[in-house]
Chain A
Amino acid sequence: YIVTIRVKPDHSGVVTDGVKHSMNPFCEIAVEEAVKLKEKKFIKEVVAVSCGPTQVTETIRTALAMGCDRGIHVEVSGKDYEAMGPLQIAKIFAALAKKEEASLVILGKQAIDDDCNQTGQMTAALLDWPQGTFASEVTIDGEKVKVVREIDGGLETIKISMPAVLTADLRLNTPRYATLPNIMKAKKKKIANMKPADLGVDMVSRVEVLRVDEPPTRLAGVKVETVDDLVAKLKANGTI
């Protein structure tokens, strides 16, 4: 995931053209958990969904190669894609969850490009479903899900009813590498195509990006010999 990020000359965002994209690592963990639950026979079918331009189908195929049964590509491109944020995606996911009669919606806790950490929570709110976020352990118990959540103070265990929304945290599992035979099988699995309008979702953003700048270059520090020197310097430059 090491890419040199450059801000666009017009400061409207970062350059994404020509930058190699791949599945968000937390989403990989989410896919792995879903496939695991299917292997343990707790769920019947795993549908991989992604919103974006045509390149997104590669990511869906990777999910299929990991073991998902079918995919849905919600086509969003151009200006709509640049303005797309967690709210729009949450609306799409909520509409799809109802349409597909899903019992679980599993997502990565946040995307590593924008670090919003909102999509899962918004999806649950729009559906009025319980949510188990920052999951480091998921156990299905009949019609309920036991979720161990990683929170600032430690670990919290909750039990929520299905249908529910879960978001995957780092320690939930270690995603598998797709096996070569599964990559071949993935080719035959179906990816359905649709547009946000088909789901009755309006893509208008409620957020306007005013300006994107690089973080200021880190200035060189100054070494001091004693604590007294440090206090004097901090006083001199007005910090204290």
Chain B
Amino acid sequence: FHLRMMEATVFLDTFNACRHFLVSFTRSVPRLNPVSELYGQLFRLHGLVFPLTSELPEMHQMMRQTCRDYADRELGPIAGKLDKEHLFPAQQVRELGAMGVMAVEVPEALGGAGMDYLAYSLAVEEISRGCGSTGCVVSVNNSLYIGPILKFGTQKQKEQWITPFTTGEKVGCFALSEPGNGSDAGAASTLARQEGEEWVLNGTKAWITNSWDASATVIFATTDKSLKHKGISAFLVPMPHPGLSLGKKEDKLGIRATSTANLILEDCRIPLGNMLGSRGSGFKIAMQTLDSGRIGIASQALGIAQAALDCAADYAHKRTAFGAPIGKLQAVQFKLADMAVAVESARLLTWKAAMLKDAKKPFTKEAAMAKLAASEAATFCGHQSIQVLGGMGYVTDMPAERHYRDARITEIYEGTSEIQRLVIAGQLLKEYAS
């Protein structure tokens, strides 16, 4: 209702000023309902990008249902096994690739699904609901590997480094963190020096998701140490490659079906054409990539949170204590309500960030808010879900303990919750500075 009041005021204020503008807009966009289209244009003019109805567009609903069906039928039944045995879901990644889920935003001409970021967010959430690890693989491939190449790569680089990675046959990874710096991304100590027609890379990258399963990486190295963070550049390196070796697979608390390891570069030589973007723009590329990646991780966290909530709510119906299903007890009801609010509010933040990105509006603050809210919702829901299940929540017979473990990483990677708070505060204070 508040939104409608706002749009009415906006409409009146700007109608006279933009009358000719509005007329040309409506003429150029033939639609059945000119009034709602007018409102739509106004929304875009003033940066409000929320849909008028409370439902997602039909295509997005269909897409979400397809991903949900896949997650329920193909991922849910094996997620426990993938986690227990640390198995990379290669077959499922191929099937998701065939559906277009491994390259949602990539244009069809390059082999992708050609959809928007909202569709991507929905896909990652539904996949993660079935299996948190698979959701992570989808997110890393889409946002962290394909994302920067799509945005900063040349046409030739896109064809070489994106198209083979749309089918699910190959996945990519993103190498920014080092043993000496995670949050402190500007202090990259991996070096790249030019030797003739090649770049030679030396250094170590840490915590690289998908490392053991990837066929290529976007990697960041310092080309000009004196320029500090403005001296970092981005490179594309195929895997395997001479001079690039992998450290041992980390034994993680959660998302165990993904491989996480160090990337060790020892005089790793790549052609000059493998630089992504311009020299010195690496830090900017990394930060912009992480901005979008945050929406992906927020979606992954939402999926895990929703799965935890589903598990707890279902259990509350079935488990009886004190003569009735435990869902009748207020203590349990309060927990479920808090979980539902946490998930739904984080979801709306995530959708808003995705829609702002699709509308080509600034979305840094909203993406950070989404990632912060969703990851904290995931850990909260994972925790409370175990509590609702009691002893059953602590054993591997029920998925609650896996959701608890899978959720934890979402508060850490692609920007810790602390970094998200700094990003949000920074953006907020900028708004108030003028």
A interface residues (Cβ-Cβ under 8 A, vs B): 58, 61-62, 65, 177-181, 183-184, 186-187
Contacts and interface: CB of A to CB of B under 8 A. Distances in A.
A42 to B, nearest CB: 23
A36 to B, nearest CB: 15
Contact of B119 (A62, A179, A180): A180
B66 A181 contact: no
Given A180-B115, A184-B115, A65 B69 contact: no
Interface string B101-113: 1001000100001
B224 interface: no
B246 interface: no
Q: 7 tightest CB-CB pairs across the interface, nearest first?
A: A180-B100, A180-B113, A179-B99, A179-B100, A178-B66, A183-B62, A183-B63
B158 to A, nearest CB: 18
Nearest to B73: A177
Given A177-B66, A177-B69, A184 B95 contact: no
A62 B58 CA distance: 11
Contact of B100 (A58, A61, A181, A186): A181
B59 interface: yes
26 contacts: A58-B62, A61-B58, A61-B62, A65-B62, A65-B66, A177-B66, A177-B69, A177-B70, A178-B66, A178-B99, A179-B100, A180-B63, A180-B99, A180-B101, A180-B113, A180-B114, A181-B108, A181-B113, A181-B114, A183-B62, A183-B66, A184-B59, A184-B113, A186-B62, A187-B58, A187-B59
Interface residues of B, number: 20
Contacts of A184: 59, 113-115
Contact of B113 (A58, A179, A186): A179
Contacts of B104: 180
A177 B68 CA distance: 11
Interface string B41-76: 000000000000000001100110110011000000
Nearest to B104: A180
Nearest to B69: A177
A183 B62 CA distance: 7
B359 interface: no
A183 B123 CA distance: 13
